[in-house]
Structure formats: structure tokens, C-alpha cells
Amino acid sequence: MMSIKILRERIRKIGHYEAMAALLDWDQNTYMPAKAAGDRALLMEEATRLSVELFLADQTGELIEAAEAGTLTPTEKNIVKIVKREYIKNRKIPSESHVRLKGETARAFEAWRAAKEENDFSRFAPALEKVLEICREQADSLGYQNEPYDAMLDLYEPGIKAAEVETIIRPLQECLTGLLGDLDNGGKPDVFTPAAAFPLQLQEELNHQLLKLMHFDLEGGQLSTAPHPFTITMSPGDVRITTRYNKHDPFSSLLGTAHEAGHGLYEQGIPEDLMLWSEISTPSLGIHESQSRFWENGIVRSLDFWKCFYPRLLEIFPVFKQCKVEDLWRSLNRVEPSLIRVEADEVTYNLHIMLRFEIERELLNGKVPVSRLPELWNEKMKSYLGIEPSTDSEGVLQDVHWSMGLFGYFPTYMLGNLYSAQFSHKMVKDIPDLSAAVAEGRLEVPLQWLRTNIHNHGNIYQPGELVKMVTGESLNINYFTDYIKSKYHEIYRL
């Protein structure tokens, strides 16, 4: 058999092991009973071992070389290019370390969950230490020029360095802090909070209305509930998203669903040939986040969207009749420094990221000990957002990421916002009637643009290349700062 055929069969088998690991992961976050946690960590280790050992075997490298030497179709060339890039990078870390990290993080996740529930950071600290230790070892294995944190960052956003993130943060912080000052003098939107409760079943129905409008394929995907919403792909026909419900606020789950469905549409949009296994099938987490942010903020927090969605909302929750469309839209865009990142508005959101970036960079680089995290968190919350959490559950324990060993992950959320603004700017130029299309509920119009310009490329290009290819220039934060100033000046009637 031709080497490329054997290589593709191998990829498929790795994909199956990855799918098993993904299902174990999804289940742990949705339906798994508590007492299964210990065994689950071992199962996840085992599934990861199967995948990693097959992927990182010498034979995979030999197959890649042999395939490169043969005659390849353009698609096959791209597949080999992607697999080779990921193989070289991941081989730097010993298989055993990949597996150990999976097991330790499954345990740390449980420790984090308990610590958050009981507001007791000390329950999480020892597990975090172990995870950190493995991550530092991995950074050393990967290699770096300036600091260990760069090696981690590169796992999630290939090509970017901590120092560069810093140069983005400075002007961005200045812009956002300035904007917050402007808004103080503007007309703050009222929050329309009807005393009514919003039964979960009806909220689910509303979320499904949104998914239909977004063309999220529910035959090839699914929506569940999870305490910390996420998206996970088992196979091209199995993309799962999650949201969480607040019975006093139907928009909390709706925005969460929009966000995760943005990720989900991306996964569903990768051409089947280029969907190798989910983790290596898109260029970076920042690019991924640009998709979720586009749908969450660019669409569902836009006035155009509410022109079409308002009647659907009224059908399910007639109580909103008392509220005009424009007021509803303004209230969904009310700016207020708050404690919880995932509930933050678009203006303060990036400030939440900045403080996490600074803390995790120091932490991974060994400049601060785990024990100082709660204190450091509260200090930085005060300096960036002017408020301080009263419990660690609302503070340093709010995010799942560090329990998962995801140091270097947070900055990709900020980059996602920046990419999204830059892509949107180009989309508006390409589609003059975009605004009308959204107002009429024709969301296939922006989706088609994303499919053609971004989804279709899978992981062929590095994030920097893709941004340049799509927009004609490198990452430029001005698109975001222009967007956010103009949107919020309008909302605050300045």
C-alpha cells in the first residue's frame, strides 16, 4: 500500500483514541457521578496513552517521510504538512509526560471542583503544584529563548511570544481604561430584570431556536449542560457544545450557547479530509476563539440580530414585551466591572485576561509560588478592575484552566477578540448588505464567509499566515479598539 494510505489509516486510528479521550472528558464534565472520578483519571490516562504512543512512534515519522517522497494530491500534501508540524512539536515532549499530565489534570480537576465548591484554595494547591511541575518540565522539553512561558504559549498560539503579548496589552489596556472613563459620562443602559423566573426547559427551547438560526447541525452535534461551558469534538459528525442556565436570566445561557456554537460551527466547517483529530485541525486557540467571539459579541450582542430574534424571544418569554428591542440590546451591552470573567462585558473582558496572563506567566516561570495566588489575584483585580472578590471561589478559583494545565491559554481569549474584530472588518467590506442579512435572520451569510475564508483551511496555515491571507495584513489591534469605541459610544449615546 502507498505510504500516504498507511499514514491516513494511522491518523484515523489515532483519531479514534482521541475520540475516546474526548468522550471521557465530555462525560466527566456533564453526567459522570462523583465516585467515578478516581477511575476516570486512569481511563483518561489510558486513552491518552493509546493516542500519544501511536502518534509519537518512530514509525509515524518514517511514514511521514515516505509519504512526502511519494506523489500526493494537494489535499494529501496539506495533511502531511499538518501532521508533520504537529509530530515534530509533540515529539519534543516524552509520551510518558503527555500521559502523566492527563492523569494529573483529571485529578486536579476534581480537586479544583471541590475547592471551588467549598471556597478552600488549600484543597486545590497541592494538585496544582503537581500539574505545574509537569508543565514546567514540558516547557523545558519544548525549549524557549526567553522564558519557559513562551514554550507553553506556543502550544496554543503558534508563533507568538509573551513579550509580544505584553506589547499588545499596553495600548489595549489604555484604550479600555479610557473607554471606561468615557462611559461614566454616558447614558448607562437600564437592566431589564423581570421578576419572572425563566424555566430551564423554555430556556433550552430558546437556545435551540438560536442554534437553528445559526445553522449549527444538530444531527451532527448536541447541546448539554455543564458547570463550565465548553465545546468538544469526537468526530466530524459529533460536535458537542454545552451551556449553563441561570433561572433568573435567560441571556446568560443564550450568550454561552452563541459562544460555544461559534466554536462548534468552526469544527463542523472543517472539511472532512482536514479534520484529522480535533486538536490538530485548527491553527490555534486564538483563531478558534475568534469564531466564538464573532457569534457571541459580533452577532448575538448586535442590534441587527435582535431585530430578527426579538419576536422569537417573545414567543417563548412574552414578559419581554415591556421592553423595546433597542433597550434590550443596550441592556445586553451594559458595561460594569465584575468579578467573573465568563460573565464580563466586552469592554472589561480583556482586562480579566491581562491579570491572568501576568499571574500565570510569573507562576510558570517560577517567579511566584502557588501559595501566593489568592493574594496576587485580589491585588490585580483591584488594580485592573477596581473591585475585589470576597471569596476565592469568585476569585482565583473561578476558572478551570490551571487545573487542566492550560498555562498560556488565557491570552488566546484576548487574541480571539482581536482576530474577530479584524476578520469582521474584512467581512463587512466583502459583504455590503451584511447588516441587513443579520437583521433578517439570514445568518448563513456571515457563516458562508467564515466557511470560505477560515473554516475551509483547517490547520493548513499558522495563525499569523491565516490572518494575513484573510485580511491582507498582520494582527492589528486597531480594528478592535475602533470597533469597541464606536459600538459603546453608540450604546452609551456619547
Query: What is the C-alpha to C-alpha distance for residues 305 and 312, in angstroms, rounded to an integer?
Result: 11
**What is d(CA 191, CA 197) in angstroms, rounded to the nearest whole number?**
16
Contact 357, 307 (CB under 8 A): no
Smallest distance, a second copy to C-beta of residue 313, A: 22
Q: Is 238 in the site for a second copy (CB under 8 A)?
A: yes
First to last CA, the chain: 68
Neighbours of 415 (CB within 10 A): 26
List the one residue out of 266, 210, 269, 275 whose CA is nearest residue 243.
210
Residues in contact with a second copy, shown as a per-residue x/- string from 307 to 346 under the rule CB under 8 A: ----------------------------------------
Quick one: which of 74, 219, 322, 472 contacts a second copy (CB under 8 A)? 219
Rule CB under 8 A: choose which of 2, 42, 202, 494 binds a second copy. 42
Residue span 46-65 as binding mask against a second copy, x where in contact by CB under 8 A, dash where not: xx--x---------------
Which range of residues in 23-31, 258-266, 335-343, 352-360 is near a second copy by CB under 8 A?
Answer: 23-31
Closer residue to a second copy, CB minimum distance, 20 or 270? 20
Q: Is 198 left (phi over 0), alpha (psi -120 to 50) or beta?
A: beta
Report the residue from 201, 272, 322, 432 that binds a second copy according to the rule CB under 8 A: 201
State which of residues 9, 39, 182, 444 lies at the interface with a second copy (CB under 8 A). 39
Cell numbers at residue 343, please? 460573565
In the three-class reduction of DSSP (H, G, I as helix; E, B as strand; rest coil), residue 380 is classed as helix
Residues 6+ apart with CB under 8 A from 471: 422, 423, 425, 426
Q: Which of 88, 196, 218, 494 binds a second copy (CB under 8 A)?
A: 218
- Torsion 270-273-278-282 (CA) sign: negative
Asked if 74 interacts with a second copy (CB under 8 A), we say: no
**Out of 2, 9, 31, 163, the residue judged to bind a second copy by CB under 8 A:** 31
Q: Minimum distance from CB of 81 to a second copy (Å)?
A: 24
Q: Which of 18, 76, 110, 260 is catalytic?
A: 260
Say if residues 486 and 421 touch (Cβ distance below 8 Å): no
Identify the residue among 23, 72, 308, 368 touching a second copy (CB under 8 A). Answer: 23
**Does 260 participate in catalysis according to the annotation?**
yes
Give the C-alpha separation, 332 to 191, whole Å: 8
Helix axis angle, 3-30 relative to 95-118, nearest 10°?
Answer: 20
Counting every residue, how long is the chain? 494
Give yes or no for residue 276 binding a second copy (CB under 8 A): no
272 binds a second copy (CB under 8 A): no
**Which are the catalytic amino acids?**
260
Q: What does the binding site for a second copy look like in residue numbers (CB under 8 A)? A: 13, 16-17, 19-20, 23-24, 27, 31-40, 42-43, 46-47, 50, 200-201, 217-222, 224, 234-240
